[in-house]
Amino acid sequence: MTEFGFIDYIAKLFAHIPANDFEGIGDDCAILPLEGGESLVFTADLLAEHVHFLRHATSAYEIGRKSLAVNLSDVAAMGVRPIATLLSIALPSDLPKGWAEAFMKGYRSLSEEFSVALIGGDTTRSGSGITVNVTAIGRGPSANIKRRSDARSGDVIFVAGELGASGSGLQDLLAERFDTPQAVAHRNPQPQVTEGIWLGAHREVHAMMDLSDGLASDLRHILRRSKVGAEINTELIPIAEGSDLQTALCGGEDYKLLFTVDPFTADPLIRNFHSHFGTPIYPIGRITEGNELQWLRNGCPMEADWQGFTHF
Ligand code: ADP
Ligand code: MG
């Protein structure tokens, strides 16, 4: 079974149990509407040694930051502010001295940056390997929440940063090149928290998610949940320095926001975003009717079967 086949199986298996007002499985976060026009959102992400990181290639401090970063990215992708996390860690007995303390200092540095409280968790011994699970909670106006299911035919598709640095960095790490700028980017993802909250407050932004498995995989989630198709102009993909198109589309862990925008307000949004953040957002294609994902090169259809990262 594939990762996403298994998630579908889980969702069906539990479909008869009351949702208790939650909008559950299927988006970057689950949503719980509160009284007074606000909602809470919830997400959990797991990092496993040997799968998500290699101990000799990443410092404890960086793993601490990254465990939190990937969760804050999912909250940002909903268009709201992260407010708190729960942290559970399983640590093996062969850890170097000071590893756990350095991990916590990394986790704290990103918590401070975005004023996110650590409100609980669990600590245990592990039989082998480090496992970290973070649950993050966000809060914001219900009207600002962006779902994967809200893309409309004609929308312009945007990414909020360059792609491929993390994927190229992973290739560097696996080749024991630890200090390239791309390897550093892979170990230090920066979640687009402020950008996500800002985009959340803009009604012309329709669907949004964060790019964790690569555009070629993640865009399909928006298409499937919104029941639409897309055309992507591959020559418009912003490729990070030192990377390439294939890695920008299929490499994971860039943690940039992917979103769709009403076509009549796309140009002012580009200008407003740039004047607010000093960095660009990149239009890369448009949402179409139907359910096809079509790659284009200078307007011509391409024969390409790009897929992103999956676990199974
Ligand atoms: P993301 O990459 O944004 O973290 P995932 O692709 O990991 O999202 O998960 C897709 C959806 O499936 C999310 O809504 C997530 O909460 C849900 N999900 C993933 N694994 C499980 C699980 N074991 N049990 C319940 N829900 C899950
Ligand atoms: Mg996500």
Q: How far, in Å, CA of 170 to CA of 167, rounded?
A: 5
Note the ligand closest to the C-alpha atom of 45: 1
Which residue is listed with tokens 């975003």? Answer: 273
Q: Which runs of consecutive H residues, i.e. helices, occur in 14-157?
A: 60-76, 99-113
Single out the residue of 56, 26, 23 nearest to residue 40, CA to CA.
Answer: 23
Structure tokens at 76: 């940002």
- How many residues comprise the chain? 312
C-alpha dihedral, 176 to 177 to 178 to 183, nearest 10°: -120
The tens-digit pLDDT sequence of the chain (312 residues) is 888 899 999 999 999 999 999 999 999 999 999 999 999 999 999 999 999 999 999 999 999 999 999 999 999 999 999 999 999 999 999 999 999 999 999 999 999 999 999 999 999 999 999 999 999 999 999 999 999 999 999 999 999 999 999 999 999 999 999 999 999 999 999 999 999 999 999 999 999 999 999 999 999 999 999 999 999 999 999 999 999 999 999 999 999 999 999 999 999 999 999 999 999 999 999 999 999 999 999 999 998 878 866 666
Note the ligand closest to the C-alpha atom of 210: 2
Ligand 1 touching residue 25 (CB < 6 A): yes
For residue 45, the CA-to-ligand 1 centroid distance in Å is: 8
Give me the residues near ligand 2 (ion), CB cutoff below 5 Å: 28, 74, 210
Give the number of the atom of ligand 1 that is nearest the alpha carbon of residue 45. Answer: 4
Burial class of residue 183 in the structure, from the number of CB atoms within 10 Å of its CB (0-12 exposed, 13-18 middle, 19+ buried)? buried
Ligand 1 touching residue 218 (CB < 6 A): no
Ligand 1 touching residue 26 (CB < 6 A): yes
Q: How far, in Å, CA of 181 to CA of 162, rounded?
A: 14
Please give, one letter per residue, the 3-state secondary structure of 115-180. CCEEEEEEEEECCCCCEEEEEEEEEEEHHHCCEHHHCCCCCEEEECCCECHHHHHHHHHHCCCCCC
Which residue is listed with tokens 């970057």? Answer: 28
Q: How far, in Å, CA of 27 to CA of 208, rounded?
A: 10
C-alpha separations of 232 from 33, 124, 212, 215, 265 in Å: 34, 46, 18, 10, 19
Residue 205: beta bridge partners? Answer: 261
Note the ligand closest to the C-alpha atom of 29: 1
Q: What is the model's pTM?
A: 0.96
Ligand 1 touching residue 253 (CB < 6 A): no
